[in-house]
Amino acid sequence: AACIGLFRFLWRFMILGFSRHLERTLRDRIFEHIMVMDRAFFSTWTTGNIMAHASNDLSAVQMACGMGMVAALDAVVMSVAAITLMLFIDVRLTMIALLPMPLLAACTRLLSRHLHQRFDLVQAQFSLLTEFARTTLVSIQMVKAYTLERLQERRFDELGRRYVRSNLKVAVIQGLLFPVATLVGNIGMLLVLYFGGRLVIHSTITLGGFVAFVSYLALLVWPMMAVGWVTNLAQRGLTSLRRIHHLLLQQPLLSDRDVTPATPCEPPACRPRFVFDHLDFTYPGAQQPTLRDICLEIGPGVTGLTGPTGSGKSTLCRLLLRLYPVPEGTLFLDGRDVNTLSIASVRRLIAYVGQEVVLFSDTVANNIAFGRPDCGPEDIEAAARAAAVHEDIMEFPDGYETMVGERGVRLSGGQQQRIALARALLADRPVLIIDDGLSAIDVATEQRVLAGIRAHLEGRTVLIVSHRINVLAAADRIVVLEQGTIRSQGSHEQLLVQDDFYRAMMARQRFDA
C-alpha cells in the first residue's frame, strides 16, 4: 500500500508539474506571438478576446493536461487491475460485466460532441464579457461624464446573463455524463448479480470467488464515473487548445520573412532619408485608396505635414514606421527599398509621438526612460527640459518619482504629450515623427517645445504632423495633403502665396485665436 501511495504521488506530481510548465510555455508563446503581430491584427482581434485566450483558455488546457490526465491515468490503472483480477476469477462473468461498456462509449461520444460546441460558445461569450469590462474601465471618465453608469451596468448584466446561459447549456451535458456513467456501472452490477448468482447456485464458481469478483467490479465504479469528469475536462481543454491554436496561426501582413538574406538588414544610422516614389496605398479590406501617387522626400531638417481630417497624414506616418506593407519600389530609405530591410532595423531609426499618448502606470522617470532604460537621471532631466515639462514635473509631489496612474490619468493632456515627447527625445534616434502630438499644448509652451526640439535634434530628420499652422510655420518645408494626394509643398511663406487652401487655413486659425 505504501509503494502504491508513493507511486501515485510521484505520477501526480509529475503530471501536474508538466501541466503547469505547459501553461507557462503556452502563455509565453502567446505573448511572444502578440509582440510580432502588426496593426492589422489588432484591428480585428480585441484586447478582451486576446485576454480570454491568455487566461480562461489557458486554464482549461492546464486542467485538461493536469487533473484530467491524473484522473484518466487513475481510471486506466484501476480498470486494468480490476478487469485483470476479474478475468482470473471467471472470464464469462467478466464479459457479462463489460457488456454495457459500448453503450457508455456511444453516449460519451455523442455528449462530447455537444459539449465541445457549447463550450466553444462559452469561451466566445467570456471574450465578449472581458472586452466590455475592459473598454468600460478604460473609458470610465467618459461613462461618468455622460452619467451612463446604469446603462453600462445593464449592458454588462445582459452579457453576464448570456454567459450564464451558455454555461448552463454546458452544465446540462455535464449533468448527463455522470448519471450515464453511473447507470452503465449499475447495469453491469445487476448483470453480474443475476448471472453470478446463478453460477454460484450451480457451483460453477465459489461464493468467495463471487464476493471477490463483486468487490473488483466495485473498483470499476470510480473509473466509470471518472469518464464523465475526464470527458468534460478533455472537451474544455480541446476547445480551448483549438482557440489558442487559431490565435497562434494568425500571421502579420508585414514581416521579415521576404527579406532577401543577401540584402543588408541594417540601414545606416546617420542622417536617413526617406523617399516616396509614386506610392499608392489602400488599407487591408478597404475599397478606396487612402494615399495616391505620393512623391515625397523626407530628409534631414524639419518637415511639416498638414491637411484636412482624413487626408492621409497619419497613414503616411504609419508607412514610415512600417506598420503596414507598401508596394515594392514605392518607399526607399537611403536608396534602398524598405521591403528589403528588416522591419526592426527601420523602426530603430525612428522615435515616434502619436495622436494617442501611451503612458504606463509607472513613475514619470520610467515613462520617459522607456526607450532607453539604461540612461541616467541627468539624461532624463535633459530630455524633460527639451520637452518643456521639467518645471511641471518638479511641481509634482515626488518629482520624477511621481506615479502617473493608468494611462497617465493623473496628468493633464499637455503634460502627457510633453512626457511622451521627452521619451522620444531621450531615445536619441536619427528620425523623430510627431503625429499631432502637440495638440493639447498651449501656444506659449508650444514655442518652447519647438525650440527645444530644434536644439536637441539639430541636423536630424523631423516630421511634424499638425492642423495648427503656427506649429509648422518654422519648418524647413511644409507638405499639404488633400484627399490622399499632395496638394502643394514649400516653405510657410511660399504656401501663403501659392496655395489658397493653406492661406484659408491660416486665416481661419488666426480668426479662431
DSSP character string of 411-463? S-HHHHHHHHHHHHHHH--SEEEEESTTTTS-HHHHHHHHHHHHHHTTTSEEE
**pLDDT recorded at residue 259:** 56
Q: What is the mean pLDDT of residues 87-100?
A: 86
- pLDDT tens profile 307-323: 888 899 999 999 999 98
Closest alpha carbon to 491 in 507, 473, 509:
473
Give tens-digit pLDDT for 424-481: 999 888 999 999 888 878 877 888 888 888 887 777 899 999 988 888 888 899 999 9
Whether this prediction's pTM lies above 0.85 is answered by no
Question: Has residue 217 got a pLDDT over 70?
Answer: yes
Task: Give yes or no for residue 262 having a pLDDT over 70.
Answer: no
pLDDT at position 264: 42
In tens, the pLDDT along 387-431 reads: 888 998 999 888 999 888 877 788 888 889 899 999 999 988 899
CB-based contacts of 227, cutoff 8 Å, min separation 6? 75, 104, 108, 177, 181
Per-residue pLDDT for 69 more than 50? yes
Pairing, β 336-337 against β 350-353? unpaired
Per-residue confidence (pLDDT) for residue 200, from 0 to 100: 81
Rounded Cα–Cα distance for residues 455 and 443 (Å): 19
Q: Which domains does the chain have, with CATH numbers?
A: 2-117+173-249 (1.20.1560.10), 274-512 (3.40.50.300)
State the DSSP H helix or E strand holding residue 301, giving kind and residue range, or none if neither. Answer: strand 301-306
Q: List pLDDT tens digits, range 157-195.
A: 999 999 999 989 888 887 887 788 778 778 888 888 888
From CA 59, how far away is CA 62, in angstroms rounded?
5
What integer is the mean pLDDT of 71-82? Answer: 84
Average pLDDT, the chain: 85
The pLDDT of 210-233, averaged and rounded, is: 81
DSSP-derived pairing of the beta strands 301-306 and 291-298? unpaired
- Of the ranges 3-12, 330-339, 390-399, which one carries the lowest mean pLDDT score? 3-12
User: In the predicted model, what is the mean pLDDT of residues 322-344?
Assistant: 89
Lookup: cell for 448: 518652447
Residue 263: the pLDDT is 44
pLDDT of the residue at 268: 46
Q: What local confidence, expressed as pLDDT, does residue 267 receive?
A: 46
